[in-house]
Copies of this chain bind each other. A is one copy, B any other.
Amino acid sequence: MATFGLVEYNDAGPEVRAVYDDIRATGKTDSINNFWKALASDPALLKRTWEETKRLMGPGALDEVTKELIYIAVSVTTGCPYCIKVHTASAGKKGITDAMLHELMSVVALANANVRLANGYQIDVE
């Protein structure tokens, strides 16, 4: 039950449709995630978030797989069930294997534990 509902393609204005078309072309799929359909209730937010996400998550100094793993690490650490579900479900399409996801989860758990040990033991910045 999204706060402002989900905007379907057929109900969308031209600004939203243009973003949806780019999402589909970029992802080589007809489907649009609910994340984008929900943001579409604020077309400027949709456009800005999509363009930023598309640009930053594409290849650069880091490859797309590494960026996707970082994105999931943040989603798992902060606890966003929707984000985790969508990004793990589509991981395979990007070439992320199950073994890689398992290691990702182990490293995220370790880092969250070690961060609390650093907090709790009040380690001095060296």
Contact = CB atoms under 8 A, between A and B. Distances in A.
A78 to B, nearest CB: 5
Interface in A75-97: 75-86, 88, 97
Interface of A: 1-4, 6, 33-35, 38-39, 41-42, 45, 48-49, 52-53, 56-57, 60-62, 66-67, 69-86, 88, 97-126
Q: Which 5 A-B pairs have the closest CB atoms?
A: A74-B111, A61-B99, A109-B113, A113-B113, A38-B121
Contact of A111 (B62, B70, B103): B70
B118 A85 contact: no
Contacts of A48: 52
- Interface residues of chain A: helix, strand, loop or mixed (majority): helix
Contact of A80 (B1, B98, B118): B118
A57 to B, nearest CB: 7
Contact of A105 (B53, B71, B77, B117): B117
Contact of A115 (B53, B57, B75, B118): B75
